[in-house]
A = this chain, B = another copy of it.
């Protein structure tokens, strides 16, 4: 019997997937979490075989949780189920020791299959995704550039960003200009979109 903890912030999706997996004779849902922090607690308390988790959740992302599990050398193996095919997400997932990664776009049938493969010690990453991650370049941004971009995305001016990051406005301008240059963008908005699409923010 494969014991699973499920983490997903949309209650309806959480419930639907749980119901679906519980119908499989060899799978059992031992815990459900609506955010990353709760998921981490549950995994520590229950030591399931598999953590099946979304990425974008409150408090801690699924990637954060996977990283924490790897750091603490817990035996639970992580399978990511996410909406986004962002290459950076996949790269970070692999770096966090994630063994399974699939999109919510894929048919439900593959979900149980992925869980069984990973539980048995294997790896489950769709070929298209693996390929896109391979050809994807690595994040060219420095931490401060990322900080500035995140705030710029929200429509803050250089002056406001400078205040938040405790920098001079000129430095912020430079960071954003550098970031746009690295990303091949013509301005901060485009730079933000590109960085986000790649999973770098």
| A residues at B contact (CB < 8 Å) | 9-13, 15-17, 19-20, 23, 81, 83, 103-109, 111, 152-155, 157, 185-193
Contact status B189-A12, CB under 8 Å: no
Given the known interface contacts A19-B16, A186-B157, the answer about A10 and B104 at a Cβ–Cβ threshold of 8 Å is yes
Contact status A187-B20, CB under 8 Å: no
Chain B positions within 8 Å of A16 at CB level: 13, 16-17, 19-20, 108
Chain B positions within 8 Å of A103 at CB level: 12
Interface centre among A104, A109, A188, A190 (most CB of B within 10 A): A104
When all copies of this chain in the complex are counted, the total is: 2
Given the known interface contacts A19-B19, A108-B19, the answer about A189 and B154 at a Cβ–Cβ threshold of 8 Å is yes
State the Cβ distance, A14 to closest chain B Cβ, in Å: 8
> When chains A and B are docked, how far (Å) is the Cα of A190 from the Cα of B188?
13
State the Cβ distance, A125 to closest chain B Cβ, in Å: 16
Chain B positions within 8 Å of A83 at CB level: 10
* 13 further interface pairs, Cβ-Cβ under 8 Å (given A13-B13, A155-B185): A11-B104, A11-B106, A12-B103, A12-B107, A12-B108, A12-B111, A15-B107, A154-B193, A155-B186, A155-B188, A155-B193, A157-B186, A157-B187
Counting from the closest, the 10 A-B pairs by CB-CB distance are A155-B190, A15-B108, A155-B189, A16-B16, A10-B104, A12-B104, A16-B20, A16-B17, A11-B107, A19-B20
Chain B positions within 8 Å of A153 at CB level: 189
Chain B positions within 8 Å of A105 at CB level: 9-12
Chain B positions within 8 Å of A12 at CB level: 17, 81, 103-108, 111
State the Cβ distance, A23 to closest chain B Cβ, in Å: 7
State the Cβ distance, A22 to closest chain B Cβ, in Å: 11
State the Cβ distance, A109 to closest chain B Cβ, in Å: 8
Chain B positions within 8 Å of A188 at CB level: 155, 189
What are 14 pairs between A and B in contact, CB < 8 Å?
Answer: A11-B105, A11-B107, A12-B17, A12-B81, A15-B20, A16-B20, A16-B108, A19-B20, A152-B189, A155-B190, A155-B191, A155-B193, A157-B186, A157-B187
